[in-house]
Amino acid sequence: MYALYTAVALIGLVTVWLPLALLRWLTRGVPLNARARLGGAAPSDAGRPSGWLHAVSVGEAIAAAPLVEGLRRLHPELPLVMTTVTTTGAQIVRERFAGLVTHRFFPLDFPSVARRVATSINPAFLICMETELWPNILRALASRGVPVMIANGRISDRSYRRYRLVRRFLTSVLADVRVFAMQSDEDARRIIALGAEPERVVVTGNMKLDAPVADPAGSVDLWRRLLGLRPGQRVWIAGSTHAGEEEPVLEAHRAALAAFPELVLVIAPRHPERTGEVLALLARRGWPSVRRSELPAAVTSASGPVPPVVVLDTVGELAMLYAIADVVFVGGSLVPVGGHNVLEAAQRRKPVLVGPHTANFREAASLLESAGAALVVRDASELSRELWRLLVDPDLRQKLGDAGYEAVASRHGAVLETLDLVGQYLYPGARS
């Protein structure tokens, strides 16, 4: 089965990944990082054993922050390497973890590449954030006796359906994982149903609930100045939007402008490469707009107010921008994508609007809904109605915001439990 998997992966590399990577390189200058992805990066820390953490992209890298801090506190002598798949994830790692971890791109999952990377990193252990399963990487590490943890593990409805199709093969892959630290009872049940040994599965909760809000003092005033906002000017944010969501967001914004003519909407596409697509949509609909990267210079030079729509074309700023919002809509939920992180807004005491498609963040969305901190909207009409209701009622906004903050605070503890598992299963003595 491993040979078949590797053959399929090679076909996918040649027919899908490589053409798309070349297209991004030719059209947008996105580097291929081919040498790093083939395991050709220099050995980590002169060949000393390292702690290896893997985070696919931005969200996983940010969620890993308290884990990185805990490992550095408990074992300052252990070099840490963090790998990402995406370039945006790499940017976050390099900016937020400078001096704490060394960044590398995650290698292509082929046997020879896996062996080369395992030799280069020389990991004492591997911690994969959420449920990242790379059969050849796991097999190469198992052959070296390197323990592996799935941390903050979750299995979405879509992933579960796909995994069940290859359960027989997946059982052998899961056998190479020492411990599964899952977010919820349902995630634990699913990983066991897929073949993980029950005694290796632990429910730790969601580490994103533990992530500290490290917005610096005065950040609200700073961000308002950076966006060119006037004192008291209202703002709402549509975060992590996907194709098909900007239109209902704009309909809701148009309706809200009738009552709040100075209201500003910040649209943050989930994938920054969609910025041009979103700007083109705004132009077709006749909406004046500006890129976040052009502010505040664009407003200063024009000597006029900020346009009614700002498009966030930068990486790593969305969570901090939530602090200036009156209302937050979290995207990926009006279309069947599965939703995105609703906790970042709740941690900043903001009322949350979310669509019905939240399978990827089922536990977090359910937590906020049950606490009365999030309102579910199913279409443009409901989004418009709830946005207006929140904008006109400051007491309601505060009620929802406080409820969300308290609900998140009540679920802290996942990071400490995960660090304890690291000490128990991966790196003796690493307990908190």
Question: Catalytic site residues?
Answer: 60
284 burial class (0-12, 13-18, 19+ CB within 10 angstroms)? exposed
Cross-strand pairs, 289:
309
Spatial separation of the C-alpha atoms in residues 45 and 225, rounded to whole Å:
42
CB 386 within 8 A of CB 346: no
For the beta carbon of residue 394, count every other beta carbon within 10 angstroms: 10
Query: Which uninterrupted H or E stretch holds 201?
Result: strand 201-203
CB 194 within 8 A of CB 186: no
Taking alpha carbons only, the member of 50, 116, 107 closest to residue 83 is 107
DSSP assigned state of 324: G
**Sequence-ordered list of residues with C-beta below 8 angstroms from that of 311, at least 6 positions apart, any chain:** 266, 267, 268, 269, 275, 278, 279, 282, 289, 290, 291, 292
Task: Scan for tokens 């990486």, then name that residue.
Answer: 315
Q: Could you report how far apart the first and last alpha carbons of the chain are, in Å?
A: 40
DSSP assigned state of 393: -
**Sequence-ordered list of residues with C-beta below 8 angstroms from that of 95, at least 6 positions apart, any chain:** 316
Measure Cα distances from 322 to 93, 248, 337, 387 in Å.
Answer: 21, 20, 22, 15
Measure Cα distances from 348 to 310, 324, 398, 406 in Å.
Answer: 21, 9, 11, 11
Query: How open is the CA angle 73-77-82, to the nearest 5 degrees?
Result: 75
**Sequence-ordered list of residues with C-beta below 8 angstroms from that of 187, at least 6 positions apart, any chain:** 153, 154, 155, 203
Half-sphere exposure of 255 (CA within 13 A, CB side): 18
SS3 at position 103? strand
